[in-house]
């Protein structure tokens, strides 16, 4: 009974470290970034599991990389 949904609303970062805004969006690495072709299978699996990626602040435009 795990109805846990992993999508763009689940961000590992709650607010922008630069301006403090909570209006963040996840950068879609598969669609707008390097794409699955440029990743190793492990990287892709980790990316889908939400272990790494980039979050962009909609207010100031800062991109925040996260890993682990």
Task: State yes or no: residue 62 binds Zn ion (CB under 5 A).
Answer: yes
**18 contributes a contact to Zn ion by CB under 5 A:** yes
Closest C-alpha among 13, 48, 42 to residue 30: 48
| 22 binds Zn ion per the rule CB under 5 A | no
Q: Which of these ranges, 5-13, 27-35, 44-52, 58-66, lies near Zn ion under the rule CB under 5 A?
A: 58-66
Q: Sign of the CA dihedral 40, 42, 14, 2? A: positive
Binding residues for Zn ion, per CB under 5 A? 16, 18-19, 21, 57, 59-60, 62
């Amino acid at each position: 009974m795990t109805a846990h949904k992993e999508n763009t609303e689940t961000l590992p970062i709650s607010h922008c470290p630069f301006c403090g805004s909570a209006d963040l969006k996840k950068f879609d690495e598969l669609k707008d970034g390097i794409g699955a072709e440029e990743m190793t299978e492990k990287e892709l699996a980790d990316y889908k599991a939400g272990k790494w990626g980039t979050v962009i602040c909609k207010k100031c435009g800062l991109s925040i990389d996260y890993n682990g």
